[in-house]
Amino acid sequence: MANPSAFPMNKPVNRYVGALPKIGIRPCIDGRRRGVRESLEEQTMTLAKAAAELLTKNLRHPCGLPVECVIADTTIGRVAEAAACQDKFSRENVGVSITVTPCWCYGSETMDMDPLTPKAVWGFNGTERPGAVYLAAVLAAHAQKGVPAFGIYGHDVMESKDSGVIPSDVAEKLLRFAKAGLAVATMRGKSYLSMGGTAMGIAGSIVNPELLEKWLGMRSESVDMSEFVRRWDEGIYDPEEFKKAKAWVKENVTLGWDKNPKEMQHTAEYKEWALDTNIKMTMIARDMMTGNPRLKELGFAEEAAGHNAILAGFQGQRQWNDHFPNGDFLEAILSSSFDWNGIREPLPVATENDHLNGLAMLFGKLVSCTASGFADVRTYWSPDAVERVTGWKPEGAAANGFIHLINSGAVCLDATGECKDASGKPAMKPWWDIKPEEAAKCLNATQFCYADLGYFRGGGYSSHLLTKGGMPMTMVRLNMVSGLGPVLQIAEGWSVELPEHVHKTLDARTDPTWPTTWFAPRLTGTDAFTDVYSVMNNWGANHGAFNYGHIGADLITLCSMLRIPVSMHNVPEDKIFRPSTWNAFGTKDREGADYRACQAYGPVYGKK
């Protein structure tokens, strides 16, 4: 059994090159002096300070460090002050900007013109001064100049003396915008590390540099899988950490059964070597992603630098897995919120180097600050089929059927649901909220079974677990479509708990040594969400990522910033928040308008 004392809490740290992005607050004001501007100075700055307080109190970066806000040194009434604000924001590494105002201002003179910074404008809903008029005017300027901005306008009229009070509807939009905007800024300049190449002809593992560079502002990095062999042969890893990791695994990890026929099973000596190799592979993959200063101390300065990778993919099948231990262990451990060094930020690694599903994992992690799961969208189980096979008629959350999410051997261990929310229900939490006892329970609920040698001739250890039911979840997939570009799919729903005999019967029909999540999407009765079958039938690929919580609205906002249309979702209409310019592309057909707007503006970092 895992020992909670083996999971110390790490301090938050920025693993990547470059400072963390900040949120810039731009207090705009009526530029007319001799009484007008002077009467508005305090109220305008109060709005800015209130926005900054809301954001800093409620947001953290995925690494756990607090989000910082930078307020312009003065209110912005004319172009010179807008330029001074931009200069300060450039020096302070501001990656997201929010303009606030209670009054009329000079639109094109005060607006944020940086084409790469996600931007929003909050116009205070009051009657003393026309904040809403400025909001409408400056959003029209953003539309005319091709620099999209989000408009925020409170539902109810407020008194000018209450400028420091942010109504709940405004707060919700400010937080949603800020989370998505920070995700955009965080990805910019980072790398996707392709460890290997294309796996088994899976299109998602044909890495697309244009997608990474033009839509996300990321680099496409690649290493041949022989680099793993070179590093373990030449000792390019920390030997002291390896000893620590090996002892931790021996004490805390449960090794499961070997399902292979006796005559095929590997020897005990080989299995021990495979486990040691899996541990080294995990360390090596992490070092290649984010670097490791310890390697420089050991004489490996070049390897110590890493690839500044915020996301990676491991090819595995087939060439690697036909000869060496598979990557299930490294994918599961790195994607989780803890390892032998304690509780820390998860590092998402995509199975089979499917970078499109990896990006879905990354999007989910950045807006939720929780670990992301990777899965095959394997099987739709209709109520009739379940009853025929098991004798049990699905009920409750499973009444309309469900989807079997099961990856071929790896998923983040957070997906067990052994962490608990404030009410004691199963959850996947930001790593800084995870208690050592919860991390230990996640590991106790996982068995690392020996790999199926029919799939993985080189052996290895696959993570076998079952996700607890009742967790709100969002399943996501990024697809690339010729002539269109990237498109996102979203399905919000819940994990489902099945009776034990039902789970075992259904699970045994695939591979019971792999991780399973039973997922029931929320149905709307229309289009792709008419029923569970329709969700499965409209899914764009064989893989999907999932995160805890209903985060579809945050992902829609993020995608609009990246000019990635959303092709299917079941997010309530009143939660959808996109740039105001999207309204000009049609208000009756919101999905079509999203496509048209994304096509018109093109990728943020370069035209297609």
Tokens 């950045």 label which residue?
A: 366
DSSP conformation class of 188: T
Where is 591: in which H helix or E strand? helix 590-601
- Whether residue 381 contacts residue 401, with contact meaning beta carbons closer than 8 Å, is answered with yes
Instruction: Determine the Cα–Cα distance for residues 171 and 55; give it in Å rounded to an integer.
Output: 9
Q: Which amino acid type is present at position 388?
A: R
* Residue whose C-alpha is closest to residue 456's, from 412, 410, 508, 416: 410
* Residue whose C-alpha is closest to residue 373's, from 489, 465, 456, 250: 465
* Sheet (strand 22-27) strand order: 69-71, 22-27, 94-101, 119-123, 150-152
Three-state SS at 387 = helix
Active site residues: 352, 376
Instruction: Determine the Cα–Cα distance for residues 42 and 36; give it in Å rounded to an integer.
Output: 12
CA atoms within 13 A on the CB side of 98: 32
* Residue whose C-alpha is closest to residue 123's, from 50, 197, 47, 20: 47
- Whether residue 163 contacts residue 43, with contact meaning beta carbons closer than 8 Å, is answered with yes
Instruction: Determine the Cα–Cα distance for residues 85 and 12; give it in Å rounded to an integer.
Output: 30
DSSP conformation class of 235: T
